[in-house]
Chains A and B, each alone.
Chain A
Amino acid sequence: MTLQETRFAADAGAPVRPVPPRTNKPRRRFPAGAAVTVAVLGIFVFAPVYWVLVTALTPTNAVYEFPPRFWPRHVTLQHFTALVHTPVLLHYLINSLVVSIATAVLTVLVSAYTGYSFAKFRYRGRRSLMYLILASQMFPQAVLLITLYLVFSQVGLLNSYLALILSFTTFTLPLCVWMMKGFFDTIPDELIEAAKVDGAGQFAIIHRILLPVSLPGLVATGLFAFIRGWNDFIFALTLGGPDHLTLPPGLANHYIGEFETGWPELMAASLVVSLPVVIGFAVLQRYLVAGLTSGAVKG
Chain B
Amino acid sequence: MSAPATPSRSSRAGRGLSNGTFGFLLTLPALALFAAVIMYPLIGALTTSLYKQSLVIPGRSFVGLDNFRFVLENQFWPVLKNTLVFAGGATALAVALGLALALALNSRLPGRGFLRGAFIFPWVIPGVVVSFVWLWIFNANYGILNGLLLRLHLVDHPVVWLGQPGTAMWAVIVAKVWASFPWIMVMLLAGLQTVPGTLHEAAALDGAGTLQRFWHVTLPHLRGILGVVVLLELIWNFQHFDTIYVMTNGGPAGATTTFAVAVYNTAFKGFNLGRAGALGALWMVLLLVLVVVYVRLSERGEKR
A-side residues, CB < 8 A to B, are: 1-2, 5-6, 9-10, 13, 16-17, 19, 21-22, 26-27, 30-31, 33-35, 37-38, 41-42, 44-46, 48-49, 51-52, 55, 63-68, 70, 110-111, 113-114, 116-127, 129, 131, 133-136, 138-151, 166-167, 169-170, 173, 177-179, 181-183, 185-186, 188-190, 192-193, 202, 217, 227, 230-231, 233-234, 238, 247-249, 251-252, 255-256, 261, 263, 266-267, 270, 273-274, 277-278, 280-282, 285, 287-290, 292-295, 297-299
Contact of B20 among A52, A121, A292 (CB under 8 A): A121
Q: Is the CB of B5 closer than 8 A to any CB of chain A?
A: yes
13 other contacts beyond A68-B142, A249-B128, with CB at 8 A cut-off?
A2-B194, A6-B199, A16-B206, A38-B101, A42-B119, A49-B122, A51-B137, A142-B239, A146-B267, A146-B273, A186-B10, A202-B22, A274-B125
Q: Could you mark each residue 253-285 of chain B with 1 if its beta carbon is under 8 Å from any beta carbon of chain A, else 0? A: 000000110011001100001001100100110
Query: Chain A residues near B23 (CB, 8 Å)?
Result: 117, 120-123, 126
- Majority SS at the chain A contact face: helix
Query: Chain A residues near B132 (CB, 8 Å)?
Result: 251, 255-256, 266-267, 270
A66, B16: Cα distance in complex, Å: 67
Tell me the minimal C-beta distance from B266 to chain A in angstroms: 9
A289 touching B190 by the CB < 8 A rule?
yes
A139 touching B37 by the CB < 8 A rule?
no
Interface stretch (choices B66-74, B165-173, B230-238)? B230-238
A52 touching B97 by the CB < 8 A rule?
no
A270, B134: Cα distance in complex, Å: 12
With A41-B100, A189-B17, A294-B2: A64-B38 Cβ-Cβ less than 8 Å: no
Contact of A183 among B4, B29, B122, B206 (CB under 8 A): B4
Q: Is the CB of B62 closer than 8 A to any CB of chain A?
A: no
A234 touching B298 by the CB < 8 A rule?
no
A140 touching B263 by the CB < 8 A rule?
yes
Tell me the minimal C-beta distance from A120 to chain B in angstroms: 5
Contact of B44 among A146, A255, A281 (CB under 8 A): A146
A68, B246: Cα distance in complex, Å: 24
A298 touching B37 by the CB < 8 A rule?
no
Contact of A297 among B44, B55, B143, B183 (CB under 8 A): B183
B104 touching A38 by the CB < 8 A rule?
yes
Query: Chain B residues near A151 (CB, 8 Å)?
Result: 40-41, 44
Contact of B224 among A1, A113, A131 (CB under 8 A): A1
B263 touching A143 by the CB < 8 A rule?
yes
Query: Chain A residues near B216 (CB, 8 Å)?
Result: 9
Tell me the minimal C-beta distance from B104 to chain A in angstroms: 4
Query: Chain A residues near B119 (CB, 8 Å)?
Result: 41-42, 45
Query: Chain A residues near B24 (CB, 8 Å)?
Result: 117, 121, 123, 125-126
Tell me the minimal C-beta distance from A239 to chain B in angstroms: 10
Query: Chain B residues near A131 (CB, 8 Å)?
Result: 295, 298-299
A226, B232: Cα distance in complex, Å: 22
With A22-B207, A141-B241, A297-B124: A5-B221 Cβ-Cβ less than 8 Å: yes
With A13-B206, A27-B108, A146-B280: A281-B124 Cβ-Cβ less than 8 Å: yes
A134, B295: Cα distance in complex, Å: 8
Q: Is the CB of B164 closer than 8 A to any CB of chain A?
A: no
Tell me the minimal C-beta distance from B59 to chain A in angstroms: 12
Q: Is the CB of B31 closer than 8 A to any CB of chain A?
A: yes
A142, B240: Cα distance in complex, Å: 10
B115 touching A38 by the CB < 8 A rule?
yes
Q: How many residues of B contact A (CB 8 A)?
A: 138
B206 touching A19 by the CB < 8 A rule?
yes
Query: Chain B residues near A140 (CB, 8 Å)?
Result: 239, 259-260, 263, 280, 283-284, 287
Q: Is the CB of B250 closer than 8 A to any CB of chain A?
A: no
Tell me the minimal C-beta distance from A19 to chain B in angstroms: 6
B187 touching A123 by the CB < 8 A rule?
no
Contact of A147 among B3, B41, B179, B206 (CB under 8 A): B41
Q: Is the CB of B64 closer than 8 A to any CB of chain A?
A: no
A281 touching B120 by the CB < 8 A rule?
yes
B residues 130-179 in Cβ contact with A at 8 Å: 131-137, 139, 141-144, 146-147, 150-151, 176, 178-179
Q: Is the CB of B57 closer than 8 A to any CB of chain A?
A: no
B103 touching A263 by the CB < 8 A rule?
no
With A22-B207, A263-B142: A142-B263 Cβ-Cβ less than 8 Å: yes
A166 touching B125 by the CB < 8 A rule?
no
With A114-B27, A140-B259: A290-B287 Cβ-Cβ less than 8 Å: no
Contact of B13 among A38, A138, A185, A294 (CB under 8 A): A185
A67 touching B11 by the CB < 8 A rule?
no
Q: Is the CB of B85 closer than 8 A to any CB of chain A?
A: no
A63 touching B142 by the CB < 8 A rule?
yes
A166, B134: Cα distance in complex, Å: 31
A192 touching B31 by the CB < 8 A rule?
no
A234 touching B30 by the CB < 8 A rule?
no
